[in-house]
Amino acid sequence: MQDSGSGAGLRGIDSVDGTVAWASGTEGTVLRTTDGGAHWTKCAVPDADKDGATLDFRGVQAWDANTAIVMASGPGDKSRLYKTSDGCKTWRLLFANPDKGGFWDAVSVADQSNLMILGDPVDGRFSVFETQDGGKSWSKEKDEGLNSNDKEGAFAASNSSMLVNWIDGPAVFGAGGPSGARLFYQCDTCKSRAQWTASTIPCFPRGQAAGIFSLNYRDWRYLIAVGGDYTKPNESSGTAARSSDGGRHWTASTIPPHGYRSAVEWSKSLKAWITAGTNGSDISRDDGRTWQPLDNGNWNALSLPFIVGPKGRIGRLDASAIPKGN
């Protein structure tokens, strides 16, 4: 465990290289470390002279010790994107949600020019915003393949409900609701009218608070999805699935994580997957077929080797403490 110096609920974490990392959360909180987490410092609050202290920063993406963006999730223009280039001494507003009924769930970056934002449905369609000029101008997808089901939404638990292959592939995102979990898949080369398609993933439970919460990849053919129902943190069934064909087909884990999970990541050094949620974390050494518990902490988001949770919780993975046979 590390001393964050904050009591905020942390849901955003991005490790640049294991030494430099950024975290974000409630009450306009942004934290930064440049020494591997030995010391975390609190950044200036974006728009502190206005309503910055009321913002909930669910996502953070960084390039180095000086440059990062943070995404606030909230109703309407409480969903915002800010950028710093001076080590978080000052912030510049890049974009505020133009949809009064919207709510942002995730942000993905290719570089400082190309960014994509996923938001909950507005007027029956998921909101996907893109910029190719660093936020000077934004376009909103109008594709009918983004049409949503009744009471369907994405989840902003860890800024990982959306994955974007910026090099040569699709964007994908997970969602959930009473009609079941769905995976939305973008096809840039498709000639059909709809560039986005959605498929139901029956591995996950149905419900207003249930579905796919996080996606990650080992490579762009092998994906892991985790989730469940966040109102049932100790329910293990329907919390993880794997795909070996880029997300086209999914198989539920034989032994799932030991509860609802909001984040998942592949560790190249450990050759294992790690997933975490509000009742702990788990590890899989067989590509998500089976999972074994690591701890019983309260967590929200992962960016290895760091993990964050409520009340300022930050931990750093001690790989040497993981049993080899686990």
88-145, pLDDT tens digit by residue?
999 999 999 999 999 999 999 999 999 999 999 999 999 999 999 999 999 999 999 9
The residues facing 241 across adjacent strands are 225, 252
Structural domain of 315: 10-321
Q: Is 70 exceeded by the pLDDT of residue 326?
A: no
Q: DSSP for 189-217, please give it.
A: T--SS-SEEEEE-TTS--STTEEEEEEEE
Q: What is the pLDDT of residue 112?
A: 96
Mean pLDDT of 206-233: 96
Residue 175 lies in a domain: yes
Look up residue 271 and give its two tokens. 């050759």
d(CA 139, CA 41): 35
The 10 Å Cβ neighbour count of residue 272 is 19
Residue 4 lies in a domain: no
Residue 3 lies in a domain: no
Q: Is 60 exceeded by the pLDDT of residue 304?
A: yes
Residue 1 lies in a domain: no
* pLDDT band at residue 193 using 50, 70 and 90 as cut-offs: low
d(CA 87, CA 78): 23
259-282, pLDDT tens digit by residue?
999 999 999 999 999 999 999 999
Q: What is the pLDDT of residue 246?
A: 86
- Domain harbouring 192, CATH code: 2.130.10.10
Residue 288 lies in a domain: yes
Domain count, the chain: 1
Region of poorest pLDDT, from 92-101, 189-198, 310-319:
189-198
Could you give phi then psi for residue 160, rounded to 5 degrees?
-135, 25
Q: What is the pLDDT of residue 174?
A: 98
Residue 149 lies in a domain: yes
Contacts of residue 269, Cβ cutoff 8 Å, sequence gap at least 6: 319
Contacts of residue 126, Cβ cutoff 8 Å, sequence gap at least 6: 118, 119, 120, 146, 147, 148, 154, 173, 175, 184
Q: Which helix (H) or strand (E) holds 267?
A: strand 263-267
Residue 326 lies in a domain: no
Residue 287 lies in a domain: yes
Percent of the chain's residues with pLDDT above 70: 97
**pTM for the whole thing?**
0.96
Q: Is 80 exceeded by the pLDDT of residue 194?
A: no
Mean pLDDT of 161-180: 92
Percent of the chain's residues with pLDDT above 90: 90
